[in-house]
Amino acid sequence: MTKLTKLFIIISLVITSVLTGCSSPKQDSDLRHSCPTIKSQVDYNAEGVLLLDDVSSPFIYLKGVGNIKVDKKHEVEGFDFSVSPNGKWIAYYSYRSDDLIVTDADLQEVIFLKREKNWGNKLWLDDNNLIINIIENNPPVLRNLGFLILNPFDNEKQEVKMDYPNIYNGYPLPFWNGFPITAFNSRLDRVVYLQGDTTFFYTLWDTENQKIITQMQVYGEFQSVPYWVLDGSMFAVAPSLTANGGDNYPSYEIFIVSHDGIIKELTHLSDYYRWVYISDLSWSPNNQYIAFWYSYWNDTDVQPYFTDPRDRYLGVVNAINGETTVYCIHGELNREIGMRVYQPPLWSPNSRQVIIQSQVGEDYPNYQTILVDVQEDTAYYIADNLEPVGWMTSP
């Protein structure tokens, strides 16, 4: 891999703009439409430290926009950034040394760990532990080899194998956040995995008692990633619910599944759109909201397939009462179903705002970084072509 120096922008969010109203939202029972004007002048406050990654050049100069102040700029030769749930730590791999580096919001307190050859993608499992995908080398091949639990603060390690009943091993193998068809909760007492060979299920497995808790049959494609809340008490997933060629295909909805296997349908977008696709779910830190990307087709459209491109839009659903807000603010334009380039919506530590990437024009590489206040229905321009990779608490 070519070694690229990335500019790591740290913005302390003290953002300002005159709050303006948006078009009158249409109210459809549990579905609400919102179209806030994106403002570049600010009179608004947000908390924490936003981390933005320049993925193209180390020689970018970011000036203040309105009263948005860039406190620090750092050149960081790194990739695969991941922020801990408590917002205190960021972990990444170094391009130069290939070390695993864990540091604080000031990039001052730094921990260096030698990366093993078979360490793949990683995520924070909880505030103290990383979960790392194990890959096969020479050449690198991603398979169901298991994963590593690593505490970078004391270097304690635990390896776990994946040998669940009838786990899917077909080609192509879906990867959920870089992990092959497995999603673990923070307690490690539950895992969701893809089961089957001709008929497929998302299976909730009890890792302690070695038994199935519940299953959801799925159709069409298996890129819908189950996302657990921080305390491991439930997960959300947005599968396709109708078989290939069905009248409502693709028909996606968000479901939440409890630790004990109770399934609840959360969204009902198919009541308003003939066909709908949902992806990239993102839980708010307080476990109350789920932000997501969605695409839709109306009654006049030809029945879509997974190769059909469509624009993606931001949606937010209240996980308690199912109230759903769909925004006119778009992400990627003309993107195929099941394909992703932009990151999922990124929540603020106080569960009030989300940061997204919004494509500019037909030229894919160009986009704006946009902040959306989901409580006030307001939106603010942050920067051009800077990828949001983390939102940390103030040091």
**Predicted confidence band at 107 (pLDDT cuts at 50, 70, 90)?**
confident
Count Cβ atoms below 10 Å from residue 349 Cβ, excluding itself.
Answer: 21
For 223-232, 279-288, 306-315, 368-377, which range has the lowest pLDDT when averaged over its residues? 306-315
Count Cβ atoms below 10 Å from residue 301 Cβ, excluding itself.
Answer: 13
For 24-38, 195-209, 212-226, 314-328, which range has the lowest pLDDT when averaged over its residues? 24-38
- The Cα 7–Cα 103 span in angstroms is 16
Q: Report yes or no on 158 lying in a domain.
A: yes
Predicted pLDDT at 16: 37
Note whether 253 and 238 are within 8 A (CB). Answer: yes
**Predicted confidence band at 220 (pLDDT cuts at 50, 70, 90)?**
low
Predicted pLDDT at 161: 84
Residue 327 tokens read as 């925004």
Q: How many residues appear in the chain?
A: 395
Mean pLDDT of 190-215: 94
- Given a cut of 90, is residue 188 above it in pLDDT? yes
Q: Report yes or no on 68 lying in a domain.
A: yes
Predicted pLDDT at 80: 86
Count Cβ atoms below 10 Å from residue 347 Cβ, excluding itself.
Answer: 22
Predicted pLDDT at 283: 97
Residue 141 is given by DSSP the state: B
Residue 102 tokens read as 């864990």
Q: What residues make up the domain containing 75?
A: 6-392
- Given a cut of 80, is residue 43 above it in pLDDT? no
Beta bridge partner(s), residue 215: 203
Predicted pLDDT at 320: 93
**Where does residue 365 rank: exposed (0-12), middle (13-18), buried (19+ CB within 10 A)?**
exposed
- Given a cut of 50, is residue 64 above it in pLDDT? no
CATH number, domain of 18, equals 2.130.10
**Predicted confidence band at 67 (pLDDT cuts at 50, 70, 90)?**
very low
- The Cα 291–Cα 311 span in angstroms is 17
- Given a cut of 60, is residue 58 above it in pLDDT? no
Mean pLDDT of the chain: 81
Q: C-alpha 304: how far from its chain's center? A: 24
Query: What is the percent of the chain with per-residue pLDDT over 90, rounded to a whole number?
Result: 46
Q: What's the CA dihedral at 298, 301, 305, 309 to 10 degrees? A: -80
Residue 271 is given by DSSP the state: G
- Given a cut of 60, is residue 169 above it in pLDDT? yes
Q: Report yes or no on 1 lying in a domain.
A: no
Strand arrangement, sheet containing 31-34: 27-28, 31-34, 324-330, 313-318, 289-297, 275-283
Beta bridge partner(s), residue 359: 367
Q: Report yes or no on 229 lying in a domain.
A: yes
Nearest C-alpha neighbor of 260 from the set 314, 310, 189: 189
Residue the block writes with tokens 């439930």: 234
Mean pLDDT of 217-241: 88
Burial 225-242 (b: 16+ CB within 10 A, else e): bbbbbbebebbbbbbbbb
Residue the block writes with tokens 């092959």: 180
Mean pLDDT of 319-337: 92
Mean pLDDT of 128-156: 82
Predicted pLDDT at 395: 62
**Predicted confidence band at 85 (pLDDT cuts at 50, 70, 90)?**
very high
Q: Which of 60-69, 146-155, 162-171 has the highest mean pLDDT?
A: 146-155
- The Cα 242–Cα 327 span in angstroms is 25
Domain count, the chain: 1
**257, HSE (Cβ side, Cα atoms, 13 Å):** 24
Q: Which residue has the higher pLDDT, 47 or 285?
A: 285
Q: Which residue has the higher pLDDT, 299 or 351?
A: 351
Predicted pLDDT at 63: 31
- The Cα 120–Cα 80 span in angstroms is 10
Predicted pLDDT at 239: 87
Q: Report yes or no on 379 lying in a domain.
A: yes
Q: Report yes or no on 206 lying in a domain.
A: yes
pTM of the model: 0.88
**Predicted confidence band at 144 (pLDDT cuts at 50, 70, 90)?**
low
**Predicted confidence band at 245 (pLDDT cuts at 50, 70, 90)?**
very low
- Given a cut of 70, is residue 250 above it in pLDDT? no
- Given a cut of 70, is residue 394 above it in pLDDT? no
Predicted pLDDT at 197: 85
